[in-house]
Amino acid sequence: MAGVLPFEKPIADLCDRVREMRGLAANDPSLAPELSRLEAEARTLSKEVFHDLTPMQKVQLSRHPNRPYTLDYVKRLFTDFVELRGDRRFADDAAIVAGVGKLIDSGRSVAIVGHQKGRGTKENMRRNFGMPHPEGYRKAIRVYELAERFRMPVLTFIDTPGAYPGIGAEERGQSEAIGAALATLARLTVPVIATIIGEGGSGGALALGVANRVLVLEYGCYSVISPEGCAAILWKDGARAEEAAKQLKITAPDLHALKVVDEIITEPPGGAHQDLEESAKVVGEAIMRHLAALSTLSPDGLADDRYQRFRKLGSIAG
């Protein structure tokens, strides 16, 4: 598999063997015991290899080029997906995918908004490496408002280094667009569930993250600034990113301990990029579980639940 990180090579090689064996076992049931043995070995090795990962190594996993993106989850979790394009002001922004669809398990109509990175240079240029312009956030607002009008839950998928910081984006009101997205999400009276599927950077991520429940994949991260940017600002030395990653407390366990996120979703052995089908399955199960719980709340109760959740962030007991 292309793009293998140095510390994940042992588990990546074993996961390749598991995938190969699954293909063979599909046509030869006698290979099932060998497949089970390899899968168990992969789980054990994954725990050993990933047990002592540094925060920066987890950040690297969250940015892995083979990691599933929003459209990978859309393909596996929803039917009848209709993508909506453009902000009706300036242009369409391919760094954010937005639309409506139906959850496969329940058939319930939902609104879907997510960051989308590209695979390969050409698509990454079109998707702007997952860094939205203002029109991307205004497109998201269109879909938030549509969800409110038709009483559809909002499901967001967060995976961005941050909002695009270019001159054009600033000229077209980047900060205003992000602020308007935050305000729109805060006012919604439908359930909102955000899932951090990769890296969540700064306000560019938070514009999709004002939710009743915020979930994070095991090797996802969520941060006000990248470790590299933090090191460059604090110490004028980007090489100290490893130290910055540790101090920022941006990995899933730290986020959960600080109550920034509500649940950590366990990834398949080797990470989400090693088994897209299993990754989609566990993400879908978590979303369905929280959606069922939130659906018992009244419209005003949902807005108040979201308000209270964010009011509690940063509180210090005693």
Look at 10 and 183; give whichever has higher pLDDT.
Answer: 183
Give the SS3 label for residue 18.
helix
227 in the same domain as 136: yes
316 — pLDDT class (breaks 50, 70, 90): low
Counted domains in the chain: 2
User: Is the CA virtual torsion 11, 16, 17, 21 positive or negative?
Assistant: positive
Distance, CA of 49 to CA of 4 (rounded, Å): 14
141 in the same domain as 253: yes
Residue 145 lies in a domain: yes
119 in the same domain as 232: yes
For the chain, the average pLDDT equals: 91
pTM of the model: 0.91
2 — pLDDT class (breaks 50, 70, 90): low
Give the SS3 label for residue 168.
helix
164 in the same domain as 37: no
Mean pLDDT of 15-21: 78
Burial code (b: 16+ CB inside 10 Å, e: under 16) for 134-147 equals bbbbbbbbbbbebb
Mean pLDDT of 128-148: 96
Mean pLDDT of 95-117: 95
211 in the same domain as 147: yes
Q: Report which DSSP code applies to 236.
A: S
Residue 318 lies in a domain: no
263 in the same domain as 116: yes
185 in the same domain as 66: yes
Mean pLDDT of 68-84: 96
86 in the same domain as 36: no
155 in the same domain as 39: no
Residue-wise pLDDT tens digits, 239-286: 899 999 999 999 999 999 999 999 999 998 888 998 899 999 999 999
Q: Which domain holds residue 205?
A: 54-312
Q: Where are the alpha helices (DSSP H) in the chain?
A: 9-25, 32-50, 55-62, 70-77, 121-127, 134-149, 167-171, 174-187, 202-206, 227-235, 241-248, 252-257, 276-294, 299-312
> What separation in angstroms does the CA of 309 have from each of 205, 212, 238?
17, 7, 34
Sequence-distant (≥ 6) Cβ neighbours of residue 224 within 8 angstroms: 202, 248
Distance, CA of 168 to CA of 164 (rounded, Å): 9
Residue 317 lies in a domain: no
- Would you say residue 151 has pLDDT above 80? yes
Residue-wise pLDDT tens digits, 224-245: 988 998 999 999 988 899 999 9
* CATH code, 175: 3.90.226.10
Q: Using an 8 Å Cβ cutoff, are 68 and 198 in contact?
A: no
Residue-wise pLDDT tens digits, 34-48: 778 887 877 787 777
68 in the same domain as 34: no
pLDDT of the residue at 5: 82
